[in-house]
Amino acid sequence: MAATKKVLGTVLAGGEGKRLMPLTLDRAKPAVPFGGQYRLIDFALSNLINSGLRQIVVLTQYKSHSLDRHISTLWRLSGMLNSYVTSIPAQQRLGKRWYLGSADAILQNLNLVRDERPDYIVVVGADHVYRMDFEQMIEAHIASGAECTVAAIRQPISLANQFGVIDVDPARPTAIREFLEKPSDPTGLPDAPDEVLASMGNYVFTTEALVEAVLADGGNEDSKHDMGGDIVPYFVERGTAGVYDMKDNEVPGSTPRDRYYWRDVGTIESYFDAHQDLISVLPIFNLYNDAWPIYSRQDNMPPAKFTRDARGTLSTVIDSIVSLGSVISGAHIERSVLGARTVVESGALLTDSIVFDHARIAAGATVRRAIIDKNVVVEPGAAIGVEPEADRRRGFVVTDTGITVVGKGVRVTRD
């Protein structure tokens, strides 16, 4: 496929991520750390690179400095002819306005399409956690003759009201009959009545058709200029929209437990739950698949270190991920994910939590069911996540399910 057809990868990375506040207070949603050493965008870019794509543009907009820096320092395809991953900031090419939606982001960057002249364009989101071989999807798109193909993953019909749902034609199971936004009473699949196909936010387009679609959408004042809400229905009405079922995607090295894993981490709860999926003995999502690696930064740091404290108390770490450069001294850590250069001191208790880079959990501190952003210091004897109402009074975000979130650079004092 790659030798005969030219494909441009386009990553939509302008999301504001309001539902992830305060983690997105001064960073774009795709730049939010994940899994200790990754950023959310690393999953989309790793999937595209592993699928053989070598021309990839990342369309950024909202507070993109850390995201742009991450892409420029990590995602360099040196030594490959006409191979690149590059971030493209919003440039107001069509007037004094920013992107009005994901389709408008494509419209405002059609110069990139004219420069590369690809046969097909793969458009993906930048804030989902999953593995996928896009080459297989591209081949299915070409074979089908569709102008637009939407990647979809099977979900229980009871969860249909949380997704954009694809209603397929029983006579043509790969053809989209209707695109339903969070339906309350959808029809199940012909081969699985208790399941629906939920859009993954990943698309393959025949280039000429996509250009025509976004140009038409740009002139429609009633449009929200959204890929899923406006562009896909455009192709459905033309009868040229197809669906690619994720169950047909075979990723090397995947296990039966994580083969069809996909999670939208757009809320604090889903972000937290996705981390819990990483840490069991047989993880629901396996970071250790060498056949389909998730690429990330390669900082020059020492290994993580686990020591006794001055009194000889052992460090205990259970069902957890601890990143490079971290030092754990006589503390207890359980069901947690720690970023690089994290320090957890003597007698500290850290359970069911996510800790970002350069945080320090001081001696005797307690952190439970919390997300701790980078450069946070939890002072000796302080507690986070123990009393949600007390956390709210101190100005911390606490979700309905009791997850406390501490923003970047905060010092948490002992009451």
Dmax (CA) of the chain: 73
* Strand (E) or helix (H) holding 186: none
330 is in an annotated binding site: no
Euclidean distance between CA atoms 152 and 166, whole angstroms? 8
Residue 205 vs residues 43, 256, 355: alpha-carbon distances, Å:
21, 30, 39
Distance CA 86, CA 75 (A): 8
Using DSSP, state whether 137 is helix, strand or coil. helix
- CA gap 410, 405 in Å, rounded: 11
DSSP 375: T
CA distance 175 to 40: 31
CA 157 to chain centre: 23
Please tell me the distance from the alpha carbon of residue 233 to that of residue 179, in angstroms, as a whole number: 6
Q: Is 120 annotated as a binding-site member? A: no
Which structure tokens are listed for 4?
Answer: 């005969």
Q: Is 164 annotated as a binding residue?
A: yes
Check the annotation: does 101 bind a ligand: no
Structural contact between residues 412 and 377, judged by C-beta atoms closer than 8 angstroms:
yes
Q: Scanning the structure block, which residue is given the tokens 């950024």?
A: 60
- Beta partners for residue 199, in sequence order: 152
Question: For the purposes of burial, counting CB atoms within 10 Å of the CB of 73, is it exposed (0-12), middle (13-18) or buried (19 or more)?
Answer: exposed
* Triad 140, 143, 145: Cα angle to 5°: 110
Residue 397, classed as helix, strand or coil, is strand
Q: What is 284-309 written as a DSSP string?
A: SS-TT-TTS---------PPPEEE--
199 marked as part of a ligand binding site = yes
Output the known binding site for alpha-D-glucose 1-phosphate.
Answer: 99, 164, 181-182, 199
Binding residues: 99, 164, 181-182, 199
